[in-house]
Amino acid sequence: MEFKKFLIEKLTLFFMLSTMITAAVYLIGSAYDRDALFGYDALLSPMRYAALCILPTFVTWSRRELSMRELLFRKALMLVLVEGVILYMAFTSPVIDTGRMQVVLTLMGSVLVIFLLVNLFLWLRDLAEAGRMNQDLENFRRLHDEESRE
């Protein structure tokens, strides 16, 4: 894959992650710390998390097409690295109550859910693009067959 296209995909991923992390922060915060009040700088937290979670995704970049086994290995490695980034940020944050195991497990679960959702959305996007490409190829083939009959 071209590195420029790879970076554009990472920008798309950043905005997807920012949205999903915002929803997860709301859900987890509502469940464990409903009365917490934040300043405006808290609005940047999902963007910081998303930006740092983009870094581990660079393990999936390759100049050549990866085999299914290589891709799955790299995706698993990426998940472990993302979990590590999020846990590091959580344990160094004065706001997140990492002393409660339930909070840590919920945080890890939300990372897994977001990881799976993002990969599902990206797969659906790629599936739709492949469908469009196949339709274009079919149209081209029909046009070529009609021209060769004339």
Q: Please give the pLDDT value at position 73.
A: 95
Q: What is the pLDDT of residue 87?
A: 95
Report the b/e string of 16-38 with b at 16+ CB within 10 A: bbbebbbebbeebbeeeeeeeee
For 96-148, the pLDDT digits (tens) are: 888 999 999 999 999 999 999 999 999 999 999 999 999 999 999 988 888 87
Q: Note if the pTM is more than 0.75.
A: yes
Task: Please report the pLDDT score of residue 1 as a whole number.
Answer: 67
Could you read off the pLDDT of 50-79 as tens digits, one per residue?
999 999 988 988 888 889 999 999 999 999
Three-state secondary structure string covering the chain: CCHHHHHHHHHHHHHHHHHHHHHHHHHHHHHHCCCCCCCHHHHHHHHHHHHHHHHHHHHHCCCCCCCHHHHHHHHHHHHHHHHHHHHHHHHHCCCCCCCCHHHHHHHHHHHHHHHHHHHHHHHHHHHHHHHHHHHHHHHHHHHHHHHHHC
In the chain, where are the structural domains located?
3-149
